Amino acid sequence: MDGASKGNLGIAAGGGVIRVDRREWIKGFSENFGQCMSVKAELRAALRGLKMAQDLGQRKVWFRADAMIVVGMLHGNGAWNPVHKPLIMQCKQLIVGERAATNLWRLPFRLLHTINYSSTSTATTASQNPTSEAANEPKRKKKKKNLFEVAQFLPNWGIGYHMAKAHWTNVSYEITKINLYKDGRHGKAWGLAYIDGLPAPAPKKISGVHKRCWKYIRNPKKLEAEPKPEPQAQAA
């Protein structure tokens, strides 16, 4: 459980999770506490978590928090501000009154949910492990680019480099000339076509340069064109 405030008297919120010994996630919460100090936010988060554990029928609880002062208050160690007495007594009543075997520890704790500073509190339940859910989330697709958006990341705007459309097989263009428009994302391009590694006789204007399907060819296949045999004169 954890609580925090924006300033030592400001907007405060808290949250926490309940897990079993194998770290399977059972239930979690995040709640807005309004204006209060950070210690009060920590105590309110602790109280909210203990009540949630009680509602779930959990009798043996390991309580983890990152505030040493809160752990000391619940252990009864040291002096504390009388303003916090009602919250401390409610927490102790849940621990002792229900005869729960509760251990209090100060450990570094990282919230699994971003604290929401909305006006209402939210409580969520999960039947599956959130780690496995995150692993099953589909990866974001990379944004497709036109020829000029690919060329801008290459030296000399891609001149001398090979590019091709994503659906082409064994076909690419070696860029020989680029004329950019003012926006830097559109223009005209010329290149030497390579088909199955063999170059065309001369460069030509490339069509479809603004379609978002272009990619850079790292190691293009190049073959030298076979020289045509010279005709031999037949003896009369």
Q: State whether 194 and 121 are in the same domain.
A: no
Q: State whether 79 and 12 are in the same domain.
A: yes
Domain residue limits at 48 = 2-130
Q: State whether 118 and 156 are in the same domain.
A: no
pLDDT tens track for 157-175:
889 999 999 999 889 999 9
Q: State whether 175 and 89 are in the same domain.
A: no
Enumerate residues 6+ apart whose C-beta is below 8 A from 47: 87, 90, 91, 94
CATH code of the domain covering residue 40? 3.30.420.10
Q: Is residue 125 part of a domain?
A: yes
Q: Is residue 118 part of a domain?
A: yes
pLDDT on residue 80: 67
| Residue 126 DSSP code | -
Q: Is residue 55 part of a domain?
A: yes
Phi and psi torsions of 122, nearest 5°: -125, 140
Q: State whether 120 and 170 are in the same domain.
A: no
Q: State whether 182 and 155 are in the same domain.
A: yes
pLDDT on residue 115: 32
Where helices occur in the chain by DSSP H, the ranges are 38-55, 68-75, 85-92, 130-136, 147-151
Q: State whether 100 and 201 are in the same domain.
A: no
Q: State whether 94 and 188 are in the same domain.
A: no
pLDDT tens track for 166-209:
999 889 999 999 998 877 788 999 999 999 889 999 999 999 99
Q: State whether 95 and 10 are in the same domain.
A: yes
Question: What is the mean pLDDT of the segment spanning 52-75?
Answer: 78
Structurally, the chain folds into a number of domains equal to: 2
pTM of the model: 0.42
Q: State whether 115 and 11 are in the same domain.
A: yes
Q: State whether 119 and 163 are in the same domain.
A: no
Q: Is residue 222 part of a domain?
A: no
Q: Which of 102, 130, 158 is the last residue of a domain?
A: 130
Half-sphere exposure of 71 (CA within 13 A, CB side): 16
Please determine, for residue 118, whether its predicted confidence score (pLDDT) is greater than 50: no
Q: State whether 158 and 81 are in the same domain.
A: no
